[in-house]
Amino acid sequence: MKRIPFALATLVWCSHLVATDLSLFDCYEKAEKAHPLQEEWRNRQHIYELQRANLNAKWLPSLNATANATYMSDVVDFGQVLALPFAMPSTPFSTMPKEQYKFTLDLQQTIYDGGTVSAGKKVELAVLDADLQALQTEFYQVREQVNQVYFALLMLEKQAELATIFKKEILQRLAAVQSAVRNGAVLPSNLDILEAELLSVDQQITELMIRREEATTILSQLVGEETDESTFILPTVQIPSQCEIHRPEMELFEKRKMALEMDKKKVRSTRLPKAALFGTYGYGQPPGSDFFNDHFDTYYIVGAAINWEIFNWNSSRRSSNALQAQQNIIDAKKAHFAQKIEIALQNSRSEIDRINASLESDEKLLALRIKIVDAAAAKLDNGAISATEFTSELNAVHRARINSELHKIQLVQAIVNYLTISGQWAD
C-alpha cells in the first residue's frame, strides 16, 4: 500500500520536470514559424529567383531556327526585258524560280538595352520586398490572437489558484464548525451550508480546468506544439515614454511605393535606344539573295541593328502618371491607417488608466473584507451568525482577491495590447 503514494509522487515530480516555461514572446516566435503562410514566404522567394534568372537570360544570345517553302505566282522574267541601260549577262535561264526553299539559324546578341534589364531586376526585388513585408503583417496580426489566449490562460490559472485557497478556507471553517456542533455551540444545519459551498467551489475549479484545457488547445494550434504541460509567465512590461508607431504595415506602404518607383524607372528605360548584333546562317534555293542561282547552297548574313522608338504618342508619360497616382493612393491609405492606430492607442491608454484606478482601491477593499470575514468567523464559532451569513462574507473576500489579482494581469495585458497596437515590442 505504501508503493502507490510513492508512485504518484514520482509521477508528479517527473511531470514537473517535463513542464517548460513558455513566455509570451516565445509564443510570438513559435506562432510565426507555425503560420500557414510560411510556405508562401518560401514560394515568393523562389518566384523572385526564377524571374531574376529570366531577366539575366536576356543578356544571353538568342538562337532561332526557321524553315519555309514558298511559291510566287509572278517573278522577274528577264526574257521579256526589252531595253536595259546595260547589257544582260548570258544566263542559262530567262526567269527567276517561282519556288524558294529556305532553312536558317538566326543568332542575336543584345549589346545595349537602355537599362531595361537592370530596371526589371530592381522592380522584381522591390516587389519581393513588398510581398514579404505583406506576409510579415499577416504574421504580426497573429500576435493579437496569441495575446488574447495567453492572458486568458493566466487569468484562468490565477482563478483556479484562488479557488483552491478559498476551498482551504472553507475546509478550515468546516472543521471549526464541526467542533462547535459537537460542543452544541452551533446548529448542525450550518455544516450543510458549508458543505454545499464546498461542492460549489469544486464545481468552479473543475470548470476552470476545462476552460484552461480549451484555451491550451487553441494556443497549441497557434504555436504549432503542445502547451498542456507548459508554465505561462506574466510578462514584465511598461508603457514607453514616447508613443511611436512601428507597425509593419507602415513599412509595407513604403515598400509598395518603392516598387512603383522602380516601375517608373523601368518605363523610362523603354524610351532609350536598343542595340544588338545579329547573324544568320542559312541553306536554301536560291541561297540568300542570289536569285540567279537555282541550286541549293549555304549562305550567311551578319550585321548590327539599333532600335529607338522616338515617339510613342505619350504612352510612357501616361504610364508614369498612372504609377504616380498609385503612389498617391498609398500615401492616403498610410495616413488613414496611422489615424486608426492613433485612435486605438488612445482607447488602449484609457483602458490602462481605468485598470490602474481600480488597482489603487483593490488593496484597501481586500484588507477591509478580510477584517470583516475574521469577525464573522468568530461570530460563527460562537453561534452569533449563521453559516449563510459567514459564507456571504467569505465569498466577498474571495471576489475581492479575484478582482485584485485579475486587475494585475489585465493591466499587463492592456500594456501589451498598447505595445502590440503601436508596434513597440518589449523583451
Average pLDDT on 49-71 reads 93
Alpha-carbon distance of 7 to 10, in angstroms, equals 5
C-alpha–C-alpha distance, residues 290 and 304, integer Å: 22
pLDDT score for 13: 37
Burial, 386: exposed, middle or buried (Cβ in 10 Å; 0-12, 13-18, 19+)?
Answer: middle
Question: Does residue 12 register a pLDDT over 60?
Answer: no
Provide the phi-psi class of 344: left if phi over 0, else alpha when psi is between -120 and 50, else beta.
alpha
**What dihedral angle (degrees, nearest 10) is formed by the CA atoms of 63, 65, 70, 74?**
20
The C-alpha atoms of residue 410 and residue 423 are separated, in whole angstroms, by 19
Per-residue confidence band for 29, with pLDDT thresholds at 50, 70 and 90: very high
Omega before 240 cis (within 30°)? Answer: no
Any long-range contacts for 343-352 (C-beta under 8 Å, 24+ apart)? 344/421, 345/243, 345/418, 345/421, 345/422, 348/414, 348/417, 348/418, 348/421, 349/239, 349/418, 351/414, 351/417, 352/239, 352/411, 352/414, 352/415, 352/418
User: What dihedral do alpha carbons 397, 164, 174, 190 form, nearest 10°?
Assistant: 60
Q: Is the pLDDT of residue 380 over 80?
A: yes
Percentage of the chain beyond pLDDT 70 is 90
Predicted confidence band at 5 (pLDDT cuts at 50, 70, 90)? very low
Q: What is the pLDDT of residue 424?
A: 82
> Residue 230 phi/psi, 5° resolution?
-80, 155
Residue 17 confidence class, pLDDT cut points 50, 70, 90: very low
Task: Report, as an integer, the average pLDDT of 253-263.
Answer: 96
Q: How confident is the model at residue 69 (pLDDT cuts 50, 70, 90)?
A: very high
Percent of all residues in the chain with a pLDDT value above 90, rounded to a whole number:
68
Give CA–CA dist 335/108, Å, rounded: 50
Tell me how far apart the alpha carbons of residues 175 and 169 are, in angstroms, rounded to a whole number. 10
**pLDDT tens-place string over residues 128-153:** 999 999 999 999 999 999 999 999 99
At residue 331's C-alpha, the angle toward residues 326 and 336, to 5°, is 125
Q: Give me the pLDDT at residue 45, please.
A: 94
**pLDDT attached to residue 130:** 96
**What is the three-class DSSP state of 77?**
strand
- pLDDT score recorded for residue 94: 56
Task: Dig out the grid coordinates for 181 from the structure.
Answer: 456542533
Using one digit for the tens of pLDDT, what is the confidence trace for 301-311? Answer: 999 999 998 88
Q: What is the mean pLDDT of the chain?
A: 88
Categorize the per-residue pLDDT at 1 as very low, low, confident or very high, splitting at 50, 70 and 90: very low
The 10s digit of each residue's pLDDT in 46-57 is 999 999 999 999
Higher pLDDT, 93 or 106: 106
Q: Give me the domains of the chain, ranges plus CATH numbers.
A: 22-64+101-422 (1.20.1600.10)
3-state secondary structure of 196: helix
Please report which confidence band the pLDDT of residue 2 belongs to, taking 50, 70 and 90 as the band edges.
Answer: very low
As a whole number of angstroms, the distance between CA 170 and CA 116 comes to 82
Element (H, E) at 85: none
pLDDT at 15 over 80: no
Contact 34, 220 (CB under 8 A): no
Q: How far is CA 313 from CA 267, 271, 310, in A?
A: 14, 12, 10
Give the pLDDT confidence score for residue 82 in this predicted structure: 53
pLDDT digits (tens, 9 = 90+) for 330-370: 999 999 999 999 999 999 999 999 999 999 999 999 999 99
Beta bridge partners of 95: 77
- How sure is the predictor about 99, in pLDDT bands with cuts at 50, 70 and 90? confident
C-alpha 253/C-alpha 309 separation (Å) is: 34
Mean pLDDT of 246-265: 95
| Bridge partners, residue 103, by sequence | 67, 283
Q: What is the pLDDT of residue 200?
A: 94
